[in-house]
Amino acid sequence: MRLIPALLLLVACAPTQEEFEDESWASSCDLMFECVSDEERDAMGMFWVFGETPDDCYALLDNPDSSDTASQGDDCEYDKQAAKECLQELNARTCDDLSDYTYETPEPCQRVCGEES
């Protein structure tokens, strides 16, 4: 599981933008594969787009054909402290959060690329 490297990253220092994108995506992949059973994934059929394994899910971030990535490139005024706080909140999510339709993106995550507009 990739949770341990993410926790070490959080203790050490604030992540670079690339580290943040990788770790936030990995955290989401880990949570989805932890909380969604094989049977539920099978039932979703073509709507389950995250692959067969967490590694398949991690690889989606590296897919150059994907138009929906976490990267905002030059448009991002990256805030390292907000990214660090965001990763802490993302890594604290539970399966209940994943199934809670009222769950909102943590406030620090909204500040990672500058103030929310």
The separation between the first and the last C-alpha atoms of the chain, rounded to the nearest angstrom, is: 35
For the chain, helix, strand, coil in percent to 5 are: 60, 0, 40
Averaged pLDDT for residues 51-65: 86
Whole-model pTM: value is: 0.74
User: Where are the domains positioned within the chain?
Assistant: 3-64+77-110
Residues 100, 107: Cα–Cα separation, whole Å: 17
Q: DSSP string covering 3-36, please? A: HHHHHHHHHH-PPPHHHHHHHHHHHHHHHHHHHS
- Which residue in the block uniquely carries the two structure tokens 């933008």? 17
Phi, psi of 29 (to 5 degrees): -60, -50
pLDDT of 71 reads 47
pLDDT digits (tens, 9 = 90+) for 17-43: 999 999 999 999 999 999 999 999 999
67-76 per-position pLDDT tens digit:
444 444 567 8
